Amino acid sequence: MIVDHDNHDQVAELASAYALGSLEPDDVREFEAHMRSCRQCTKAVADMEAVAGVLAHSVPQLDPPPRIRQELIRRIAAERAPRPAIAPSRARPRWLSFVAPAAVAAAIVLLIIASVIAVRQHDELERLRTVQALIAAPSSRVVPLNQDGIHAKLIVKPGSNEAYMAVSGLPPLPASRDYQVWLLSGSRPESVGVFHSEGTGRWILKASRPMKDYKWVGVTREPRGGSPQPTTQPIIASNLR
Amino acid sequence: MDRTRPDDEELISRVGNGDAHALEALYDRYARPVFSLASRITGDQQAAEEITQEVFVRVWQQATTYSRERGRLSSWLLGIAHHLSIDEIRRRGARPQSSHSSDDPSQPRSEPRDSSPDPGEIAIGQERREAVLLALSSLPAEQRQVIELSYFAGLTQAEIAEKLVLPLGTVKTRTRLGLQRLRAELLARGMLSDTL
C-alpha cells in the first residue's frame, strides 16, 4: 500500500474507514502492515477509533444478563488455577522419533523421572538433591545472566542433561503467559522448561542433550504453556561457550 | 463522575498482572456498552452475550498488549466488541440492522436488572448516549448514513457504494468528512477528552 503522507485527505480516509471497519479486507491487511512502521498513520487511526468508539455509546443501552458475568468469572478462575511449575512433556516433544531404540528406553526412564519430579514439584528436597549434584561436580560452572534488573545464575555440568537456573527480578506475568527457557545448539532453539514464576524462579532445566552441546541460553515470555519456538525477544540471554 | 475510583489505566495494568478483581471492575464499568453495541449490531441476544464474554476474556488474555498510544481503554474494548460483532454478522451473511441508530422497538429486550453495574454508571450512560446522538444529528444526513452503514451494518465502502449507487470516491469522502466533523463536534462538547 502506498500512503502519501503529504496527502492528509488520503491518510484521513484510510484512518476513518479503518476505524469504522469499512475498509476492504485486503486493504485492512496492507494498512495494518504499513502502520507497524508508521507513527503518523497509527496516530490518525487512534484519533478516529476514539470517535468510532463514541458511536458505540449512541445505541440503546441494555443490561447484560448476570449469567455473562458469572460465566466470565468462572472462566477466569479456571485459567488462574495453579499449574505445574515444570512442564517436562512440553520440553522434550520431538527427540523420541529419531534416537536409537536403547536411547528410547533410557528416554522413557528419564521421562518417568521427569514426571515424578513434576508431580513432586513442591518437594524442595528433590530440587535440592539435583542442584546439589550439579554444584558438587568439579566440572560444573556458573554462567551469570544480567539484563534490565533481571539477574540469573545458570549452573551447568557439561556432561549432564540437566541444569539449574536461579533468577531474581522477574517481572510479573499475566495468567496467559509463561516464561520459557531455551538452549541453542544448532539453528533451532530447544525448549528446556516452561515456568510460571514471579519475582524469583528456581528452575531445573531438562535438555535432550548434554549441556556441553549447547552454545546459548535465553528466557522469553510466551503464551501460556509455551511455544514450539520463541515468539518474543529474550528477557535475559547469554552465550555458553 | 467519581474520581476516587481506580482509573482505567490502573485497572488494565492490574489485569495484566493477573488480578481478577480488576477485570471484574472493568466488566462492571463496560459490560453494558459492550453488550448494547453487540446487541445493536447482531440483533441477536445470544450472539451478543457470547461476544460480551469473549471481549472480556480477550481483555484478560491481552491486557499486557494494550498500549495507551493506541487510544483509550474504552475505545480499545469497544473496538474489540465492534470487530467481533461485525465478524458475526458477516459470517452469517445477515445484516439485520437498518441504517439508523435511533431507538428501535425491535431491539432485544433488556433483562431484569443485573446487580453489577452501579446506578451511577447507568445515569452516565444515558447522558452520554443523548450527547452522542446530539452530536450525530449535527452531521449532514448523507455523511451520517455512510458512517452508520459502515459501523452498524458492517458494510465495506465498496458495498456501500453499490447499495447507494454512488461512486466509491464519494463514499470515501463522505466517510472522512463525516468522521472528521463528528470528531470536531465531540471535541467541542468535551466528549473526547473525558473518560467516556
pLDDT, tens digit (0-9, with 9 covering 90-100), for A47-65: 898 898 889 889 998 999 9
Which residues in chain B (145-164) have CB-CB distances under 8 A to chain A?
147, 149-152, 154-158, 160
What are the extents of the domains in chain B? Answer: 1-96, 118-196
Checking if the pLDDT of B106 tops 70, the result is: no
The position carrying cell 498482572 is B17
- Higher-confidence position of B108 and A225: A225
CATH class of B1-96: mainly alpha
> What angle is formed at CA A176 by the lines to CA A172 and CA A179, rounded to 5 degrees?
55
Which helix (H) or strand (E) segment holds residue B184: the answer is helix B168-188
Task: Decide if B106 touches A, using CB distance below 8 A.
Answer: no
Residues 6+ apart with CB under 8 A from A106: none
pLDDT higher than threshold 50 for residue A87: no
Q: What is the pLDDT of residue B110?
A: 42
Q: How many Å lie between the alpha carbon of B186 and the closest alpha carbon of chain A? A: 8
d(CA A16, CA A61): 25
pLDDT of residue A3: 79
Please report residues of B whose CB lies closer than 8 A to that of A17.
150, 157, 172, 175-176
The answer to whether residue A17 scores a pLDDT higher than 70 is yes
User: Which of A61, A66, A68 lies at the smallest CB-CB distance from B115?
Assistant: A66
In chain A, CATH 1.10.10.1320 covers: 8-58
Do residues B71 and A50 make contact, with C-beta atoms less than 8 angstroms apart? yes
Run of H or E residues at A106:
helix A101-119
Query: How large is the average pLDDT for residues A209-220?
Result: 90
Region A182-202 average pLDDT? 85
CA distance A23 to chain B (A): 6
Which residues from A are below 8 Å from B158, CB to CB? 24
Same fold, B1-96 and B118-196: no
So what's the architecture of A8-58 in CATH?
Orthogonal Bundle (1.10)
CA–CA dist B178, B172 (Å, integer): 10
Please report the pLDDT score of residue B126 as a whole number. 76
- Integer-rounded Cα radius of gyration of chain A: 24
Reported residue count of chain B is: 196
pLDDT in tens, B29-49: 999 999 999 999 999 999 999
Strand partners, A168: A151
pLDDT at B104: 42
Q: Structure pTM?
A: 0.56
Beta-carbon separation of A63 and B179 below 8 A? no
Q: Which CATH fold topology does B118-196 show?
A: Arc Repressor Mutant, subunit A (1.10.10)
Report d(CA A219, CA A241) in Å as an integer: 17
Average pLDDT over residues B106-134: 62
